[in-house]
Each structure stands twice: as C-alpha cells, then as structure tokens.
Amino acid sequence: MPRVSKRKVACRKVKQIVKRKRITYSVEQKIEVVTYAEEHGNNKAAVKFDINRSMIGHWVLTSSTWNTDTNGKSKRIGSGRKAFFPEAKKRLYKWTIEQRKQGLAVSYVILRSKMLEILREADMLKLYGVLTENFKTSHRWLKVFLKRYKLTL
C-alpha cells in the first residue's frame, strides 16, 4: 500500500469540507443578508446565514447599484434584457386576439406585416422615434413574441 503524507490527507479533508452545492438567492434574501452584515459584520452574517464570507462581501459592495424596482423572484439583479417597443407589442397582441375572436387565421407573414404597420403609425413614431426604422421582424423575434404572450399559430 502506498504511503500518503499527512499533508495530502489534510488537503483531501479540506476539499471534502469546502465543496458545497451551488445555491441561488433571491434579491430579498440578499438584501436581508447585506443589512445584517452592515450591522454585525460579514463574519457574523456568514455564520448566521451559512454563506461564504467572500460572497457576502461581494454582495455588500454591489448592493449600492441594486435597483429597488427589480423583481423579488429574480435571482440576478437587473437580469434580463429590456423589451423593445412594448406598446407596439401590446397593440399587436390585442389585434391578434381580435382577429382570432372573428375566426380569422393569423400567420407569421400577417403578424410581421402588422407589426411593421403598427410601428409606422404616427403615435409610435412619436414614442420610439428613429428606432422603428431599424426594426426587423425576424423569425426568432416572432417566436419569442408568441411565447411571451402564450400564443400559437
């Protein structure tokens, strides 16, 4: 049997202890930990919440940039891309629902042309300005639109 030094044995034990399962925390949980850490210190917060001290330190530093309007269920602060043309998309959704109530079929081509038509309207040009000229109704955009509003063709 090969001889193993005490150092290697100790190193293996440390690796076994340190290895943790990754956990995600909501914004509300992070804010609770940060407020406790600011009052009592990072070390006491790490012990109380059973979180790595360096992670708490990172949260304390970045907490000043957190937006209070973020979704409480969100795991990452400010995560997700902001929607372009939300008013135009709402109008397209309403139009699609009206067409379906009348029993008319709505296809990809019809949705694309209607979106471009909506973006050419005066109030949309006033709201979004020059951005509407560069809008492309790609296949991916259409799939995401349908998924966001839980629509199918």
pTM listed for this prediction:
0.50
52 inside domain: yes
Share of the chain above pLDDT 70, in %: 77
pLDDT band for position 19 (cuts 50, 70, 90): low
pLDDT tens sequence across 40-78: 999 999 999 888 888 888 888 888 777 655 555 555 655
Range of the domain at 108: 86-148
Read off the pLDDT of each residue in 89-93 and give the average, rounded to a whole number: 94
Residue carrying structure tokens 């044995």: 9
Q: How far apart are CA 23 and CA 7, in angstroms?
A: 30
Element (H, E) at 150: none
- 89's tokens: 């998309």
Q: How far apart are CA 126 and CA 139, in angstroms?
A: 26
Cβ atoms of 63 and 19 within 8 Å: the answer is no
| Number of domains comprising the chain | 2
6 inside domain: no
pLDDT on residue 110:
92
pLDDT tens sequence across 94-146: 999 999 999 998 999 999 999 999 999 989 888 888 887 888 888 988 998 99
Tell me 83's DSSP state: P
15 inside domain: no
**Domain co-membership, 69 together with 101:** no
**Domain co-membership, 96 together with 131:** yes
